[in-house]
Structure 1
Amino acid sequence: MYQLYYYPLNASMAPHFVLEALNVDFELILVDRKNNAQKSKDYLALNPAGRIPSLIDNELVIFESPAICIHLAESNPCANLIPKVGDKLRAKFFQWMMYLTNTVQAELMVYFYPQNHTTNTALAPSIVSAQENRITEMFELLDNELENKEFLVGQTVTVCDYFLFMLAVWADEFKKPPLAFHNLAKYLCNLAKHDAIITVCEKEQLSLLDYR
């Protein structure tokens, strides 16, 4: 049975979506960020990066949200959450996964933690403002990509979609949030009807009213 070390609405949300979509047995183990439990001795022994999430698959321990998502998809090929080897869409899948995690998520981390990116804390508000503009441009790129598309890659839901939904949730308080984009909003509202997303949002206490 899988064990996912998580915190609500954290980077563990995407793996949580994937586990629910796979309809497999798994256990959620709360890592209390409010008390810095991710920096505890016990957790660091599991994940030396001291970040959430971590996944235990038998004796295998994996950290980094996209790596966990891809591992789960590869380990459960019948679910078709990742294009198979030899499928021309597989390269596009990895393109968008890298863009979502290495670009969009990375820039969101600067937005949320500006104090970690300057030695002058007075500059933090300027960093936040600049980051919001940068990330909004990224959502515009994704909005263009999603024109006349139900999913980011191919004709069925993949890990990319669950990952993008998580990032969109994080940006819902932007001046121009993801739901303000025509194609992106339609896409997100469609994903919000999926059982895996409904179940996870109930467990992590996120209302989906805005997506109806």
Structure 2
Amino acid sequence: MYKLFYYPLNASMAPHFVLEELNADFELVLVDRKTNAHKAKNYLALNPAGRIPTLVDDESVLFESAAICIHLAESNPKNKLIPQVGEPERALFLQWIMYLTNTLQAELMVHFYPQNHTNNVDAIANITATQESRITAMLGLLDTELADKKFLVGEQLTVCDFYLFMLAIWADEFKQPPLAFKHLGLYLRRLAKRDAIIKVCKKEGLSLADYV
């Protein structure tokens, strides 16, 4: 049985999607960010980075959202949420999961926490605006990539799709949100019909009304 330490609409959302898609036996454990529970001694004993999420299973304790998603997919190969070593889509999968976590997510973190990247209070608004522009360009790249594809890695649903859906939710209040892009918007609306995403959004308090 898996145990996912989570907080609604945080980086735990992608692993939460994957667990539901796998129809896995798992328990959700709320880590209340409002009370800094992710910095508490007992949580740091599991996750010394003091961030969310953390996954505990029978054999390991793991943090970092993308790593958890990959671990879940590889531990449940029959669900085919990750191309296997030697399959032609494997390299493309690795490219996109790295892009999503190391590029798009990293830039989103600067956008949402600009105060962590400057000692000049007057620079915060400029950082936020600049980051939104940078991220919008990245969304444009993804929009182009999805022009003739059902999923990010070809015709097969993978954890990349759940990861991108999570990041798109984070950017939904941009001047040009992900849903405003032609191909990316259609792709997100298709994903929003999946039972796993519907279940997770209900549990985490997110309305999918905009995706209809």
Shorter-chain TM-score bucket reads over 0.9
Deviation at residue 165 of structure 1 after TM alignment: 0.1
- In 1, the alpha carbon distance for the partners of 2:44 and 2:69 equals 21
| Helix, strand or coil at the partner of 2:62 | strand
Q: What does the per-residue CA deviation read over 1:142-191, in whole Å, with 9 as the maximum and x for residues that have no partner?
A: 00000021100021210000000000000000000000100000000000
Is the counterpart of residue 203 in structure 1 residue 210 in structure 2? Answer: no
- In 2, the alpha carbon distance for the partners of 1:45 and 1:84 equals 33
The aligned amino acid for 1:175 is: K
- In 2, the alpha carbon distance for the partners of 1:24 and 1:106 equals 29
Q: What is the root-mean-square deviation in Å for CA atoms of aligned residues?
A: 0.5
The aligned amino acid for 1:109 is: M
- In 2, the alpha carbon distance for the partners of 1:171 and 1:113 equals 14
Deviation at residue 80 of structure 1 after TM alignment: 0.3
- In 2, the alpha carbon distance for the partners of 1:97 and 1:127 equals 25
- In 2, the alpha carbon distance for the partners of 1:97 and 1:42 equals 30
Q: Which residue of 2 aligns with 1:171?
A: 171
Residue segments in structure 2 that go unaligned for 5+ positions in a row? none
5 Å-filtered alignment, 1:45-194, equals 45-194=45-194
Deviation at residue 134 of structure 1 after TM alignment: 0.1
Deviation at residue 58 of structure 1 after TM alignment: 1.0
Residue segments in structure 1 that go unaligned for 5+ positions in a row? none
Deviation at residue 57 of structure 1 after TM alignment: 1.1
- In 2, the alpha carbon distance for the partners of 1:13 and 1:67 equals 13
| Helix, strand or coil at the partner of 2:5 | strand
| Helix, strand or coil at the partner of 2:201 | helix
Deviation at residue 9 of structure 1 after TM alignment: 0.1
The aligned amino acid for 1:45 is: A
Deviation at residue 197 of structure 1 after TM alignment: 0.3
Percent identity for Structure 1 against Structure 2: 70
- In 2, the alpha carbon distance for the partners of 1:30 and 1:154 equals 34
Deviation at residue 70 of structure 1 after TM alignment: 0.1
The aligned amino acid for 2:179 is: L
- In 1, the alpha carbon distance for the partners of 2:43 and 2:78 equals 32
Q: Which residue of 2 aligns with 1:9?
A: 9
Deviation at residue 4 of structure 1 after TM alignment: 0.1
The aligned amino acid for 2:64 is: E
- In 2, the alpha carbon distance for the partners of 1:154 and 1:57 equals 30
Deviation at residue 35 of structure 1 after TM alignment: 0.4
Deviation at residue 59 of structure 1 after TM alignment: 3.7
- In 1, the alpha carbon distance for the partners of 2:157 and 2:202 equals 20
- In 1, the alpha carbon distance for the partners of 2:32 and 2:121 equals 27
| Helix, strand or coil at the partner of 1:62 | strand
- In 2, the alpha carbon distance for the partners of 1:6 and 1:107 equals 22
| Helix, strand or coil at the partner of 1:176 | coil
The aligned amino acid for 2:19 is: L
Size of the alignment, in residue pairs? 212
Deviation at residue 51 of structure 1 after TM alignment: 0.1
5 Å-filtered alignment, 1:32-51, equals 32-51=32-51
Deviation at residue 24 of structure 1 after TM alignment: 1.0
